[in-house]
């Protein structure tokens, strides 16, 4: 039976639609190929100004990024005269219509290169007049940041600072501001300031000026001392100290912990040792029902009542005797303060430093007091608070510096605590691990590289992380002091004292097949050839299995690596059960060091290079007892652990000798391992 006319029409229509879709795809591919070729031409120093003007007019007529491409060309050796000629041609092409943002940005750059300040300011003012921050903040930020590209970072700072006061959490704006400040800092350091007005130095002075922060701290302290809040804070701090194991603390440890407690007491509602709201009834500024509790079901009360005065800081802001400017600063701190485990890759201020919160992934460009950050090694971790003051993020003076391995362990503990807290509050089903009993120094995963692997931060996680860290700050500090005062006992997954054991065991014949016949022995994916892995954990649940040891069987003997005496004895029993008649002949032991990158510490007689050469072939606990050389060729998890380990070495090497520092050529180690450094993830700079 033939097809109906309607069916034929439908099929013809579908065929036409398919051909049209294919044509659109071909056209899209052609456009993308053409754009790629044009962008390639932009980076070709031999391309003529006319060619470049044509490409920019076609590809970037409304993108301030066009000026960035011209600066890139100059870095490749293109003379300023060609940039000016390109700008002239672009303006000619645009006439008689108003030039686009990209054309104006290139024209402003060309005028700057020519030293024509009037023309530059004219183009810059037109750029600003053409963008509206309320309609497109990203476009406005690109225009504001373009002043930095024309060697006027002070202008960028002046324009962006009011915006940051209203939007302190805007990371894109923070990138533009940080880039401008770094350029101003570089200019000031090189003493190349050309204008007598010195807007760059003024911007740097504003950034470094902590007077508004210090004034607020003094005013809040005076307020608590003249109200009943002072006694409430002292009583609460006394109760918090009861659980501290402070017998071996020195003055520094006591003062640092007390400073954290006092700061938390001002910022957060009070709780007793059992976690119940602290009795603040009777204080004229306090809600007796504990509204604003971020750790109980009463947290919703604070959301309903933004003006709850259940903390000394909120009470200070609500006090009619508080000056308006101080009340506004108190409200800003109350709303935006963030406690965290802040990693600082490069602690040399320029003038601020980038900080990454290891649990939530929040990034902040922060100003540290000079006396706080002085001498901090690379990859140091700050356990404390950051808060904006008039849009500039600044750290408080209460906090403690951690090493990378200490930061990883604290971050792991906090993330576990936050997960369990959310599970308790929401009641949502989920596979949450049991709460950790204490911080696992030297055994946590490398959180210090977590946010450089493409993992994206979860929105609002910082809102939960901050109060948890604040509430546990003194306990976390206490564990750090204990770890530093007494070498902690490192244990394996079975809770046994960890000792790295390399042993040779004589056996009858080749026991490889007899081992493979057991469910707890097998090969490891990407493992060493000829190696047998001894597995622990539930049978059939590979994702829950752990490595108990590694064996390399040969006829008549087995080379063994295990991490406790008990596991070695158990393995000997297994070999006896399968008829191997085991006899232990050679055994060497070493204890993994927490303070020196989780590896055995060679004798002090070795030179730094000898130490490094020796270390490359030492089994390391955090690498699952592989050597660094083996981990360098392993899977992504091994490589991340290795990166964390190398960062600990870089940190350790930068410490003063009296604090255990030792020169280590980590660049040589990286080259020897073929392991390039992971650079801290950078946001795209719109200017």
Question: In this predicted structure, what is the pLDDT of residue 81?
Answer: 94
Q: What is the mean pLDDT of residues 621-638?
A: 83
pLDDT at 598 over 70: no
CB environment 576-597: b (16+ within 10 A), e (fewer): eebebebeeeeeeeeebbbbbb
3-state secondary structure of 73: helix
Give the pLDDT band of residue 289 (cuts 50, 70, 90): very low
Question: In this predicted structure, what is the pLDDT of residue 285?
Answer: 37
HSE toward the beta carbon, residue 217, CA cutoff 13 A: 15
**Most confident among 123-132, 273-282, 528-537, 602-611 (mean pLDDT):** 123-132
Structure letter (DSSP) for residue 271: B
Sign of the Cα pseudo-torsion (370, 375, 377, 381, in order)? negative
Q: What is the mean pLDDT of residues 117-127?
A: 94
pTM, to two decimals: 0.78
Radius of gyration of the chain (CA): 31
Separation of CA 395 from chain center? 16
Question: In this predicted structure, what is the pLDDT of residue 527?
Answer: 73
Contact 220, 262 (CB under 8 A): no
Question: In this predicted structure, what is the pLDDT of residue 21?
Answer: 75
Beta partners for residue 364, in sequence order: 355
HSE toward the beta carbon, residue 17, CA cutoff 13 A: 6
What are 555-574's pLDDT values in tens digits?
Answer: 999 999 898 899 999 999 99
Quick one: how many helices (H) and strands (E) in the chain? 25, 11
What are 48-98's pLDDT values in tens digits?
Answer: 999 999 999 988 889 999 999 999 999 999 999 999 999 999 999 888 888
Helix (H) / strand (E) containing 358: none
* Share of residues in the chain with pLDDT > 70 (%): 83
Name the nearest CA neighbour of 111 among 55, 153, 150: 150
> Which value, to the nearest 10 degrees, does the dihedral of the CA atoms of residues 190, 195, 198, 201 take?
-10
Q: What is the mean pLDDT of residues 536-565?
A: 80
- The secondary structure of 86-151 as a DSSP string is HHHHHHHHHTTSPPPHHHHHHHHHHHHHHT-HHHHHHHHHHHHHH--TTT-HHHHHHHHHHHHHTT
Q: What is the mean pLDDT of residues 260-281?
A: 73
Q: What is the mean pLDDT of residues 639-659?
A: 86
Structure letter (DSSP) for residue 296: S
What's the distance, Cα to Cα, between the start and end of the chain in Å?
Answer: 68
**Spatial distance between the Cα atoms of 623 and 621, rounded to a whole number of angstroms:** 5
What are 154-188's pLDDT values in tens digits?
Answer: 999 999 999 999 999 998 999 999 999 999 999 88
Beta strands in 576-675 (DSSP E): 583-590
The CB density around residue 248, as the number of other CB atoms within 10 Å, is 11
Sign of the Cα pseudo-torsion (79, 84, 86, 89, in order)? negative
Task: Give the position of tokens 């805007």.
Answer: 170
> Residue 550: which residues within 8 A CB-CB, separation 6 or more?
527, 528, 531, 532, 533, 534, 560, 561, 625
Asked if residue 96 has a cis previous peptide bond (ω within 30° of 0), the answer is yes
**Spatial distance between the Cα atoms of 37 and 312, rounded to a whole number of angstroms:** 62
What are 328-365's pLDDT values in tens digits?
Answer: 999 999 999 999 999 999 999 889 999 999 999 999 99
Mean pLDDT of the chain: 83
Give the pLDDT band of residue 196 (cuts 50, 70, 90): very low
Helices 117-130 and 137-149 meet at what angle, rounded to 10? Answer: 170
Q: What is the mean pLDDT of residues 426-451?
A: 76
Helix locations, 363-449, DSSP H: 370-373, 404-426
């Amino acid at each position: 039976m033939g097809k109906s006319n309607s069916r034929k029409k439908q099929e013809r229509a579908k065929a036409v639609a398919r051909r049209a879709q294919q044509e659109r795809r071909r056209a899209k591919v052609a456009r993308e190929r053409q754009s790629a070729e044009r962008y390639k031409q932009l980076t070709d120093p031999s391309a003529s100004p006319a060619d470049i003007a044509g490409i920019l007019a076609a590809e970037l007529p409304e993108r301030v990024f066009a000026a960035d491409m011209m600066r890139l060309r100059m870095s490749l050796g293109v003379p300023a005269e060609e940039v000016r000629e390109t700008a002239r041609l672009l303006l000619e092409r645009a006439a008689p219509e108003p030039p686009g943002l990209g054309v104006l940005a290139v024209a402003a750059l060309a005028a700057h290169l020519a030293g024509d300040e009037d023309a530059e300011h004219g183009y810059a003012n037109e750029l600003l007049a053409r963008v509206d921050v309320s309609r497109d903040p990203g476009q406005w930020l690109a225009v504001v940041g373009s002043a930095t590209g024309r060697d006027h970072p002070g202008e960028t700072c002046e324009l962006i600072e009011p915006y940051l006061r209203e939007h302190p959490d805007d990371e894109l704006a923070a990138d533009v501001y940080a880039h401008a400040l770094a350029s101003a800092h570089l200019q000031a350091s090189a003493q190349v300031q050309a204008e007598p007005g010195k807007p760059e130095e003024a911007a740097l002075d504003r950034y470094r000026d902590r007077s508004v922060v210090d004034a607020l701290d003094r005013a809040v302290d005076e307020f608590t001392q003249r109200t009943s809040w002072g006694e409430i804070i002292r009583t609460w701090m006394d109760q918090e100290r009861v659980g501290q194991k402070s017998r071996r603390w020195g003055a520094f440890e006591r003062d640092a912990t007390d400073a954290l407690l006092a700061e938390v007491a001002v910022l957060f509602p009070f709780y007793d040792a059992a976690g119940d709201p602290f009795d603040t009834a009777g204080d004229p500024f306090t809600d007796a029902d504990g509204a604003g509790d971020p750790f109980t079901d009463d947290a919703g009360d604070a959301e309903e009542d933004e003006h709850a005065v259940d903390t000394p800081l909120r009470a200070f802001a609500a006090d009619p005797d508080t000056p308006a400017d101080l009340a506004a600063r108190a409200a800003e701190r109350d709303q935006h303060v963030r406690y965290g485990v802040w990693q600082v890759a490069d602690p040399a201020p320029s003038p601020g430093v980038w900080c990454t919160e290891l649990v939530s992934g929040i990034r902040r460009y922060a100003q540290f007091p000079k006396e706080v950050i002085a001498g901090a090694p690379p990859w140091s971790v700050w356990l404390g608070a950051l808060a904006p003051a008039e849009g500039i993020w600044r750290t408080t003076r209460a906090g403690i510096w951690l090493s990378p391995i200490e930061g990883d362990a604290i971050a792991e503990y906090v993330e576990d605590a936050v997960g369990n807290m959310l599970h308790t509050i929401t009641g949502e089903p989920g596979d949450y691990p049991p709460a950790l009993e204490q911080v696992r120094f030297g055994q946590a995963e490398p959180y210090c590289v977590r946010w450089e692997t493409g993992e994206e931060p979860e929105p609002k996680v910082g809102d939960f992380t901050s109060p948890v860290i604040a509430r546990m700050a003194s306990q976390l500090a206490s564990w750090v002091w204990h770890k530093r005062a007494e070498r902690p006992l490192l244990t394996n997954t079975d809770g046994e004292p960890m000792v790295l054991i390399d042993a040779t065991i004589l056996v009858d014949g080749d026991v490889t097949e007899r081992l493979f016949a057991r469910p707890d022995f097998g090969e490891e994916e990407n493992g060493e050839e000829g190696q047998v892995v001894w597995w622990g954990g539930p049978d059939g649940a590979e994702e829950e299995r752990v490595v108990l040891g590694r064996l390399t069987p040969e006829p008549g003997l087995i080379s063994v690596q295990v991490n406790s005496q008990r596991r070695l004895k158990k393995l000997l029993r297994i070999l006896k059960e399968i008829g191997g008649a085991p006899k232990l002949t050679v055994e060497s032991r070493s204890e993994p060091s927490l303070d020196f990158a989780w590896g055995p510490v060679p004798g002090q007689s070795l030179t730094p290079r000898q130490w490094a050469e020796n270390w490359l072939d030492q089994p390391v606990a955090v690498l699952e007892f592989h050597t660094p050389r083996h981990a360098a060729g392993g899977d992504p998890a091994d490589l991340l652990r290795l990166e964390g380990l190398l960062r600990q070495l870089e940190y350790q090497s930068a410490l003063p000798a009296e604090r255990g520092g030792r020169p280590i050529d980590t660049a040589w180690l990286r080259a020897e391992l073929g392991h390039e450094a992971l650079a801290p993830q950078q946001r795209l700079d719109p200017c």
